[in-house]
């Protein structure tokens, strides 16, 4: 293999890896790109009046990145539109929030074709191409149309939706067909892979071939399960750093005589934040004697604020947190500390470590890395308890957590009580099992397994001949 080309909507290779803000995924992919002398390609985040089929190159701490500017209409229709208002809600089973606008689909197709036009000339014959996430499903098809015959892999960071919901999408067949121009498609869990297979077999009348192969639309593709994880050693280093330790001390001091429950999530309806607050409220109602002994720290940076659904949920959460605090707070105690801000990785590690309970309760989530970060940050001799939604991909591996149905406020309330009263020996036993999972799914293992599988995926026997039009 000569080089690895990573493609994603936004390029997150850090300019300064020591600054502590880059996530594990960005660090792991950057390390692979340095090793394989690669290139990270994606949207610059900038808009221009008229699209030009050219990339701007930058060096970011030894990683070459190639960035493309888009037109404002592309951003509206492809990014805010089809990616964030159509595919994201649909893949998270929110058909009630899904926008079925034809212009969004057209913008998605147009923008992917534009990415292909800029990327194709940068590809050399032996390059391995790894495309990430739902923003870029048609990109392999568009590259093939331009004559690219390299191995191309796709990894989906979100869940794959149930067939009965996917068919509500106009042109669902076209979307799935374009995935057959990849050589390998990776999912976080067997459940997401099985849902994809179900669509291919039941709706598109394809076949399962061998252990990991699918055949449909006259083509074959390999599928596989590659559960993502965190950069465990990097995270432990962050936890033990001066700032990590100082943040822990600060939080421990502020929680003195009280148990802290922590939630850390982007502000997104898939994360189950409203249901979580309602479950916590139920716990406060049902357990008056425990009230003053606990508080919930919910750290929720604003995301996708250009999309109106996200503004709506933000308003509802503000109101809900305010109502619960208004009802229960005392002169020296507030049940919820609700913060809309981001923290560095070392600060987050210190916060997690000071929390007796980690509350990770998405309604549907591809994997959920916060669950793994919370576990990694714990003190092995006195670990906290992870409460995890059964609908997070992470639940497929992290069965030793307290698994809950986040739609049930009573189940959430019971789980919070169990976690707060769990004996030390049980907490240690559970933590040890969970920490093993976190280590076994380190992000570098995920990356290397995917790259290896892509390198050895059987080649598409014959590339389809496309009409130039
Ligand atoms: P996300 O939906 O963004 O990712 P998640 O996996 O939880 O969800 O990752 C969020 C990351 O953001 C974590 O590393 C977390 O520490 C960080 N973060 C959250 N709040 C923060 C804050 N206030 N300050 C600083 N950092 C914060 C998508 C999918 C997931 C999948 C990942 C990776 O939706 O299901 O696990 O991609 O594939």
pLDDT tens track, the chain, 469 positions: 579 999 999 998 888 776 666 676 888 888 888 888 889 999 999 999 999 999 999 999 889 999 999 999 999 999 999 999 999 999 999 999 999 999 999 999 999 999 999 999 999 999 999 999 999 999 999 999 999 999 999 999 999 999 999 999 999 999 999 999 999 999 999 999 999 999 999 999 999 998 899 999 999 999 999 999 999 999 999 999 999 999 999 999 998 889 999 999 999 999 999 999 999 999 999 999 999 999 999 999 988 777 788 888 989 999 999 999 999 999 999 999 999 999 999 999 999 999 999 999 999 999 999 999 999 999 999 999 999 999 999 999 999 999 999 999 999 999 999 999 999 999 999 999 999 999 999 999 999 999 999 999 987 545 555 554 4
Asked if residue 340 lies in contact with residue 267, where contact means CB atoms within 8 angstroms, the answer is: yes
Inside any domain, residue 467? no
Output the ligand 1 site: residues, CB below 6 A: 23, 25, 157-158, 228, 264-266, 299, 301, 342-343, 348, 365-370, 373
Packed helices 369-377 and 345-353: angle between N→C axes, nearest 10 degrees: 70
Q: What is the reported pLDDT for 33?
A: 87
Question: What's the rounded Cα separation, in Å, for the pair 382 and 377?
Answer: 11
Are 196 and 241 in a shared domain? Answer: no
Q: What is the reported pLDDT for 469?
A: 40
Q: What is the reported pLDDT for 461?
A: 44
Are 164 and 215 in a shared domain? Answer: yes
Inside any domain, residue 469? no
Q: What angle do CA 105, 155, 162 make, to 5 degrees?
A: 65
Query: In 10 A of CB 319, how many CB atoms?
Result: 11
Inside any domain, residue 462? no
Are 163 and 275 in a shared domain? Answer: no
Residues β-bridged to residue 131: 7, 154
373 Cα–ligand 1 center, Å = 10
431 Cα–ligand 1 center, Å = 21
Question: What's the rounded Cα separation, in Å, for the pair 43 and 140?
Answer: 16
Question: What's the rounded Cα separation, in Å, for the pair 53 and 7?
Answer: 16
Are 302 and 382 in a shared domain? Answer: yes
Q: What is the reported pLDDT for 36?
A: 83
Ligand 1: which atom is nearest the Cα of residue 24? 14
Alpha carbon nearest to ligand 1 atom 21, residue: 342
Q: What is the reported pLDDT for 242?
A: 96
Tell me which residue range forms the domain holding 24: 4-229+443-456
Are 451 and 373 in a shared domain? Answer: no
Inside any domain, residue 184? yes
Asked if residue 3 lies in contact with residue 38, where contact means CB atoms within 8 angstroms, the answer is: yes
Q: What is the reported pLDDT for 20?
A: 62
Inside any domain, residue 284? yes
Q: What is the reported pLDDT for 462?
A: 53
Question: What's the rounded Cα separation, in Å, for the pair 25 and 366?
Answer: 14
Question: What's the rounded Cα separation, in Å, for the pair 25 and 132?
Answer: 11
Inside any domain, residue 359? yes
Are 22 and 63 in a shared domain? Answer: yes
Share of the chain residues as helix, strand and coil, in percent rounded to the nearest 5: 50, 20, 30
Are 322 and 402 in a shared domain? Answer: yes
Report which secondary-structure segment, H or E, holds 8: strand 4-10
Alpha carbon nearest to ligand 1 atom 37, residue: 157
Are 65 and 198 in a shared domain? Answer: yes
Q: Is the pTM of this model over 0.85?
A: yes
| Residue 92 falls in the annotated catalytic set | no
Are 210 and 277 in a shared domain? Answer: no
Number of domains in the chain: 2
CA 254 to chain centre: 31
Q: What is the reported pLDDT for 370?
A: 97
Point out the catalytic residue in the list 92, 135, 157, 188. 157
Are 11 and 82 in a shared domain? Answer: yes
Ligand 1: which atom is nearest the Cα of residue 370? 7
Asked if residue 96 lies in contact with residue 420, where contact means CB atoms within 8 angstroms, the answer is: no
Alpha carbon nearest to ligand 1 atom 18, residue: 265
170 Cα–ligand 1 center, Å = 30
Inside any domain, residue 468? no
Are 288 and 256 in a shared domain? Answer: yes
- CATH number of the domain within which 110 lies: 3.40.50.2000
| Residue 365 falls in the annotated catalytic set | yes
Are 225 and 243 in a shared domain? Answer: no
Alpha carbon nearest to ligand 1 atom 27, residue: 342
Inside any domain, residue 352? yes
Query: What secondary structure does DSSP assign to 246-278, as a single string?
Result: HHHHHHHHHTTTSEEEEEE--S-GGG-HHHHHH
The side-by-side arrangement of strands in the sheet containing 63-71 is 56-60, 63-71, 39-48, 4-10, 128-132, 152-155, 184-187, 219-225, 213-216, 207-209
Question: What's the rounded Cα separation, in Å, for the pair 24 and 234?
Answer: 8
């Amino acid at each position: 293999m000569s080089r690895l080309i990573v493609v994603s909507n936004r390029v997150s290779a850090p300019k300064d890896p020591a600054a502590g803000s880059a996530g594990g995924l960005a660090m792991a992919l950057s390390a692979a790109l340095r090793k394989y002398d690669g290139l990270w390609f994606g949207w610059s985040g900038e808009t221009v009046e008229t699209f030009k089929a050219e990339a701007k190159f930058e060096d970011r701490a030894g990683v070459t990145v190639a960035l493309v500017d888009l037109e404002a209409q592309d951003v509206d229709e492809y990014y805010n539109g089809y990616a964030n208002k159509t595919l994201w809600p649909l893949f998270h089973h929110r058909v009630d929030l899904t926008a079925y606008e034809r212009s969004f689909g057209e913008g998605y197709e147009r923008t992917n074709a534009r990415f292909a036009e800029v990327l194709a000339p940068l590809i050399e014959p032996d390059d391995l191409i790894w495309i990430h996430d739902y923003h870029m499903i048609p990109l392999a098809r568009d590259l093939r149309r331009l004559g690219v015959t390299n191995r191309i892999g796709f990894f989906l960071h979100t869940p794959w939706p149930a067939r009965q919901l996917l068919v509500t999408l106009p042109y669902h067949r076209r979307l799935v067909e374009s995935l057959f121009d990849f050589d390998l498609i990776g999912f976080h869990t067997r459940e997401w892979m099985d849902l994809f297979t179900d669509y291919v077999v039941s709706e598109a009348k394809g076949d399962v071939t061998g252990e990991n192969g699918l055949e449909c639309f006259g083509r074959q593709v390999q599928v596989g399960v590659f559960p993502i994880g965190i950069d465990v050693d990097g995270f432990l280093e962050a936890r033990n750093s001066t700032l990590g330790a100082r943040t822990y001390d600060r939080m421990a001091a502020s929680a003195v005589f009280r148990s802290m429950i922590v939630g850390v999530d982007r502000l997104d309806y898939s994360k189950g934040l409203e249901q979580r607050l309602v479950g916590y409220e139920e716990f406060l109602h049902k357990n008056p004697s425990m009230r003053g002994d606990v508080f919930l720290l919910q750290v929720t940076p604003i995301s996708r604020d250009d999309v109106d659904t996200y503004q709506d949920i933000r308003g509802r959460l503000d109101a809900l947190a305010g109502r619960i605090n208004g009802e229960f707070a005392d002169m020296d105690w507030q049940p919820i500390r609700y913060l809309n801000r981001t923290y560095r990785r070392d600060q987050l590690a210190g916060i997690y470590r000071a929390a007796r309970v980690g509350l990770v309760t998405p309604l549907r989530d591809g994997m959920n890395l916060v669950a793994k970060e919370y576990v990694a940050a714990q003190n092995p001799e006195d670990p906290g308890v992870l409460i995890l939604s059964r609908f997070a991909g992470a639940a497929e591996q992290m069965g030793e957590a307290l698994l809950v149905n986040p739609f049930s406020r009573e189940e959430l309330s019971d789980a919070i009580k169990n976690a707060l009263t769990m004996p030390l020996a049980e907490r240690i036993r559970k933590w040890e099992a969970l920490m093993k999972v976190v280590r076994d799914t380190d992000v570098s293992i995920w990356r290397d397994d995917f790259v290896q599988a892509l390198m050895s995926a059987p080649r598409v026997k014959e590339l389809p001949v496309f009409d130039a039009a």
